[in-house]
Amino acid sequence: MVRVLRRIDQGWHPSRWGLAPWLGLLLALLSGTCFAGLDYLYQTSEVPVPLVGIGILILVIAVHLVMRLNHRLRAEIRNRWRAEDELSDSQQRLALALWGADLGCWDWNLDNDELYLDRRSAELLGVEAGEGVLSLQDRHPACELFRSLRGRMQGSSPGYNLEQVMRVGDRWLQFAGKRLPHGNAAFRALGTLMDVTQTHAYQEKLEQLSITDPLTGVFNRRHFFDRMAPACAQARRDNAPLSFAMLDIDHFKAVNDDHGHLFGDEVLSHFAALLKRHCRPYDLVARYGGEEFAVLFIGIDRVQAQTVLSRYREALIASPVRRGKATLTCYFSAGIADLCELEELNDCAKLVEIADSRLYRAKAAGRDRIFVDSEGSASS
């Protein structure tokens, strides 16, 4: 009915004045007919004049009521058009915002477990059927994913916000949603999906850059000490051995002076790669600074660590660094300390101090040596 009136009011007549002219014309015809009838009755039969007056009054009242009805009807139609236009504009703005932010939208009925996915959400979750309604009872991975979130959403209070990043296939997706009441005490959850795979990769790369030395690829000094303190505490709780070694490449300044800094970088990279290869995956290897490296050996004492570094030294001698026509065999000096030498078992700084002092004693003794105690015992 509204559509018909809208079309009539939009101009199915030449004047385009709306319904008022048509209703006016209709009332004029009715009035003329009524007056003609009353006049006829008055002439043919002696109708009292008051009765004619009452008829005219009723006609005027009817005309007034019809005009008011027309006015209200036109106002309601205009309000309906305005609401439809505003809704259409709002839908267009929402669609543009979702498109610009590359977001998918989902609507989850928590009572009957029906899940609506728009086109982008279906694409991100790998739903081949595209936009539509799914039942969480289905075995599709997307349904399994939302089932894993059901406990958090159903056990939460209205207004609960969900924000979580999850891996879906080869993508990382950010779920954002809110639980809302929805008629007859039912609850629903509305939210969005965003593909954050690239952002997650950037974050992983930044995290890796923040904890590693860019030249050698081993841990940097800050991250090494962040990991060292918990490792010492864990070894103390488990009553397990733990040792720390400080290594220094011998005559490294002469390498830079004689062959250039690029060759020196090659030496550092080669030294670190070979050192990491000879340590176990759970040992911590870091560039301490300059040509100095640090190793935290988990689960072995300083004598066993000395054996590991002796094998590493043999491998280092057997694989000289080559760049162009230049060939260089690396040697190093080292000092090792372990946890049982500390009075305070959590004093990591003291452990470093002991190993560092033994390193300098090894260098003073002629280099290419590994010192493991304070009595002068060394391997070379």
Per the structure, the count of domains in the chain is 3
- 160 and 262 housed in the same domain: no
User: How many helices (H) and strands (E) are present in the chain, helices listed first?
Assistant: 11, 14
Cβ neighbors of 309 (< 8 A, separation 6 or more) are 245, 247, 295, 334, 336, 370
pLDDT by residue for the chain (380 residues), tens digit each?
A: 444 444 444 444 444 445 555 555 565 666 666 656 556 555 665 555 565 566 666 767 777 777 787 788 888 888 888 888 888 888 788 777 777 777 888 888 887 888 888 888 888 888 876 777 888 777 777 778 888 777 777 665 666 777 888 888 888 988 888 887 766 656 788 888 888 888 889 988 999 999 999 999 999 999 999 999 899 889 888 989 999 999 999 999 999 998 899 999 999 999 999 999 999 999 999 999 999 999 999 999 999 999 999 999 999 999 999 888 888 999 999 999 998 888 765 678 889 999 999 999 999 999 999 999 866 555 55
Domain with residue 360: its CATH number is 3.30.70.270
Instruction: Give strand pairing partners of 322.
Output: 327
| 228 shares its domain with 293 | yes
Q: For residues 284-299, b (16+ Cβ closer than 10 Å) or e, as one string? A: bbbbbeebbbbbbbbe
The first and second tokens of residue 104, run together, are 């998918």
Q: The domain spanning residue 181 has which CATH number?
A: 3.30.450.20
Region of 84 please: left (phi>0), alpha (psi -120 to 50) or beta.
Answer: alpha
Collapsed DSSP state (helix, strand, coil) of residue 203: helix
Q: Residue 170 is encoded by which pair of tokens?
A: 């080869």
Nearest residue to 246 (alpha-carbon basis) of 83, 326, 346, 358: 358
The CA distance from 163 to 192, in Å, is 10
Its domain, for residue 138, covers 102-197
Question: Are 146 and 120 contacting, i.e. CB atoms less than 8 angstroms apart?
Answer: no
State the Cα–Cα distance between residues 374 and 361, nearest whole angstrom: 9
User: The whole model's pTM is what?
Assistant: 0.63
Same domain assignment for residues 11 and 86: yes
In a domain, 204, yes or no: no
Whether 135 and 219 map to the same domain: the answer is no
